Structure 1
Amino acid sequence: MSTSTEPAVTMPRSRRSRLTPEREGELYEAVVDLLAEVGYDSLTMDAVAARTHSSKATLYRQWKSKPQLVVTALRRTKPVCLQDINTGSLRGDLREMVLLGGEGRRPEKDAALMRGLAHAAHENPDLQQALRELLILPEIAALDVLLKRAVDRGEIAPDCPAMSYLPHMMCGAFVARPLIDDAPADPDYLLTYVDAVVLPALGA
């Protein structure tokens, strides 16, 4: 059972930000770095305030809770925005997603961070809610748009049963590769995975 004393997450955030985009970006980067260093359970709003030279009152005014701040930071520091990908083919879209996602990233560090966050979410309902509402559901919606374009182009049958499992297939690669092969799910592996597993499953 979680020992976190942070206030419950309240979403969505409707208050207009008082921080500049540059300052928000710096703060998000600092939160992700701190998360990788100490893990979710040991990350505190006091530590974030000290690392970013902010007041704790400012952090709570902007993000309401630790779960909301952490998940928003993860979303805003993602290397790729799925909504911006449209290469004209399903294979091109998936490859672009992999290649952009790998730019400047450290797969081992990212995988360890996400595993730790997933474990923390099992014990922290507020974190789990924030992950779903701020990170997972928007990603699924963007993948649905990507798949709809593929259906409209005739690349996938409209009743293809594997479409609803695309998020599971992509997440599964990140989780399974380190466990089975003791290696990170780097771009080379993921590109092969897309061609060997994802596209055949979709019938593309």
Structure 2
Amino acid sequence: MASTQRRSKITPEREREFYTAALDLLREGGYEALTMEGIAARTRCGKSTLYRQWGTKPQLVCAALRGMRGVRLGEIDTGTLAGDLRAVARATGTKAHADTALTQALAHAAQQNPDLLAALRENLVEPAVAEIDAMVRRAVERGEVAQDNPAVEFVAVQLFGVLRARLLLRGVHADEEYLVRFVEASVLPALGIAPASRTAPAPAG
């Protein structure tokens, strides 16, 4: 409730200005060079405004990442788990590929800054995992996936793990095309769902 009260006096347009400034500065100089003073100067406000609204730099960065992202995973509901996971792959892959500088700055900073890592987990990672888990639960309830399928536990781990693994192993991001292929080749078969390429055509007539 306190957080809602702090944020109530800033318009959505002004909030977006703060978020844009924070992420632009993060891309330009990295996390360590990013300061509340710098964001305040770029947005022509007092730094006390930023502290009242978000409290700390990690919380502001997380709010900016959450506020500026496009598709929200919790809004994805295509009616099938295969459709949901393909939509997640497209949304995640497009975002990661389009903002390499930001991704790299955050990945490095999170390993060096426990407060940032904790904030990212609390505000972004854990909610995203919960949203994917909710997709899987819906599929179990619909009867698409067996409740005792052991792969159910690892869907979110697979999706987030491949993002980091491809960059580490190949030096390139897991883009939209790669993530969709990963879902088709690895995630769906483990869940007992036939990928689109293997789905039998409907009978004629």
- Change in Cα spacing, 1:15 to 1:125, as seen in structure 2 (3 Å) is farther
Partner of 2:90: 99
Measured against aligned partners, the alpha-carbon deviations of 1:26-68 in whole angstroms (never above 9, x if no partner) come to 2212211221221111111111112222210100010000010
- RMSD, aligned CA: 2.1
8 Å contact from structure 2 (residues 93, 174) kept in 1: no
* Distance (Å, rounded) in 1 between the aligned partners of 2:98 and 2:12: 29
1:157 — aligned with what?
146
The answer to whether residue 57 in structure 2 is matched with residue 66 in structure 1 is: yes
Residues 15, 171 of structure 1: CA spacing in aligned structure 2 closer, same or farther, 3 A cutoff? same
Q: Percent identity?
A: 49
1:148 counterpart (132, 137, 140)? 137
Matches of 2:4 and 2:112, distance apart in 1? 27
Q: What's 2:122 paired with?
A: 133
Report the 3-state secondary structure (helix = DSSP H, G, I; strand = E; otherwise coil) of the residue aligned with 1:147: helix
TM-score, with structure 1 as normaliser: 0.84
Structure number with higher helix proportion: 2
| Farther-moved stretch of structure 1 (34-43 vs 159-168) | 159-168
SS of corresponding position for 2:5: coil
- Answering whether residue 158 of structure 2 is matched by residue 186 of structure 1, we say no
Give the match's secondary structure for 1:158: coil
Structure 2's unaligned 5+ residue stretches are 194-205
For the pair shown, which has the larger CA radius of gyration, 1 or 2?
Answer: 2
Asked if the contact 1:79/1:101 (under 8 Å) is kept, the reply is no
Distance 1:159 1:116, change over 3 A: farther
**Which residue is equivalent to 1:3?**
none
CA contact (8 A) 1:166 1:198 kept: yes
Partners of 1:16 and 1:57 lie apart in 2 by: 12
CA contact (8 A) 1:108 1:184 kept: no
User: Could you tell me which amino acid in structure 2 is paired with residue 149 of structure 1?
Assistant: R
Offset of 1:116 from its aligned partner? 3.3
1:146 Cα offset (Å): 0.7
The residue number in structure 1 matching 2:199 is none
- Residue by residue over 1:68-99, the C-alpha shift from the partner in whole angstroms, topping out at 9 and shown as x without a partner, is 00011111111111111110111111112233
> TM-score under structure 2 normalisation?
0.84
Structure 1: gaps of 5 or more residues: 1-10
